[in-house]
């Protein structure tokens, strides 16, 4: 793998996913690309990266997926979920008491731990039993992750990360050494592969957007573009939750931070002109 190949890889990643390859550590890249090298029968990472120049879509997609960081956990950053449960959800339940409709988008869901954590909190309140119509959309660029999330099966180590034992007992069943999430929770989430660089046109207006631990991989221009487009689909009183390491510094325009609730922002900007026309 030479410098030019690495630069080309970084360029493809940035262009196609927004991800900036911060650490160009050869060993890290080789480890991530190893399954792709095996799958496509390359000799080594260097020969794979040379082939990347020809832009075969299956190869490009596999490389992109291999280079994404998919680390996640149930109730990751517990405080965020407490803010959702104790501040965001009660407010929205009051505001939407008449329509009984709630639309939530989890924008980078990895293997599904985040949307299923949200689903568990919604289930605690018994919203569905109370006749609420819940739309919970969960997306990720990585098709393999989305397939895993859809399946809802987790290893012992994965369920040990952040999932209280009582939730494991009530929402999962054991299958050999793995844990399968209940059909009820699985049915609550609509999973779909989606690149945050693409048009948000298919998304409904949302009351809450979780966009956590993904913006930090993007360069400012891409981060702002994603935040901008989220603000366009977020209800005027809607909430945005980002990761604790992701401040909106430099992009205060579209959102106001909630007091004493790190990572929680509200949308205040008037609905943009073009959406008003679109109705």
Closest among 36, 12, 9, 44 to 25, alpha carbons compared: 9
Q: Is 101 helix (H, G, I), strand (E, B) or coil?
A: strand
Q: Which residues pair with 154 in a beta bridge?
A: 179
DSSP letter for 7, please.
Answer: H
**For the purposes of burial, counting CB atoms within 10 Å of the CB of 178, is it exposed (0-12), middle (13-18) or buried (19 or more)?**
middle
Query: Is residue 152 a contact partner of residue 186, using CB atoms and an 8 Å limit?
Result: yes
User: Least distance from C-beta 161 to ligand SAM, angstroms?
Assistant: 10
170 binds ligand SAM (CB under 6 A): no
Q: Which of 6, 13, 18, 118 binds ligand SAM (CB under 6 A)?
A: 18
CB of 34 to ligand SAM, least distance (A): 18
71 binds ligand SAM (CB under 6 A): yes
Interface residue with ligand SAM among 140, 148, 163, 240 (CB under 6 A) is 140
Q: List the x/- string, 202-221, binding to ligand SAM by CB under 6 A.
A: ----------xxx--x----
Q: Give dist(CA 237, CA 243) in Å, integer.
A: 20
Nearest-approach distance from CB 233 to ligand SAM, in angstroms: 15
Q: Interface with ligand SAM by CB under 6 A: which range of 96-104, 107-115, 118-126, 200-208? A: 107-115
Q: How does strand 101-106 pair with strand 133-140?
A: parallel
**Chain residues that interact with ligand SAM, rule: CB under 6 A:** 17-19, 68-72, 76, 108, 110, 114, 140-142, 145, 195-197, 212-214, 217, 243
């Amino acid at each position: 793998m030479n410098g030019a190949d690495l630069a080309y890889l970084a360029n493809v990643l940035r262009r196609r996913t927004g991800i900036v390859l911060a650490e160009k550590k050869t060993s890290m890249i080789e480890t991530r690309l190893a399954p792709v090298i095996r799958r496509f029968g390359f000799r080594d990472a260097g020969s794979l990266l040379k082939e990347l120049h020809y832009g075969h879509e299956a190869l490009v997609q596999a490389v992109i997926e291999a280079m994404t960081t998919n680390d996640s956990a149930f109730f990751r950053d517990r405080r965020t979920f407490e803010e959702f449960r104790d501040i965001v959800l009660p407010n929205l339940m009051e505001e939407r008491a008449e329509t009984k409709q709630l639309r939530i988008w989890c924008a980078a869901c990895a293997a599904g731990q985040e949307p299923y954590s949200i689903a568990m909190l919604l289930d605690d309140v018994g919203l569905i039993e109370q006749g609420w119509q819940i739309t919970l959309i969960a997306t990720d660029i990585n098709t393999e992750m989305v397939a895993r999330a859809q399946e809802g099966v987790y290893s012992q180590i994965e369920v040990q990360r952040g999932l209280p034992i009582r939730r494991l007992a009530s929402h999962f069943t054991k299958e050999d050494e793995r844990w399968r999430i209940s059909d009820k929770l699985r049915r609550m989430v609509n999973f779909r592969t989606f690149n945050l660089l693409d048009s948000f046109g298919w998304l409904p207006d949302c009351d809450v957007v979780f966009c956590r631990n993904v913006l930090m991989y993007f360069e400012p221009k891409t981060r702002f573009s994603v935040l901008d487009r989220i603000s366009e689909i977020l209800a005027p009183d809607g909430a945005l939750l980002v990761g604790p390491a992701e401040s909106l510094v430099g992009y205060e325009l579209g959102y106001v931070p909630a007091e004493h609730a790190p990572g929680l922002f509200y949308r205040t900007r008037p609905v943009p002109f073009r959406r008003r026309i679109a109705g």
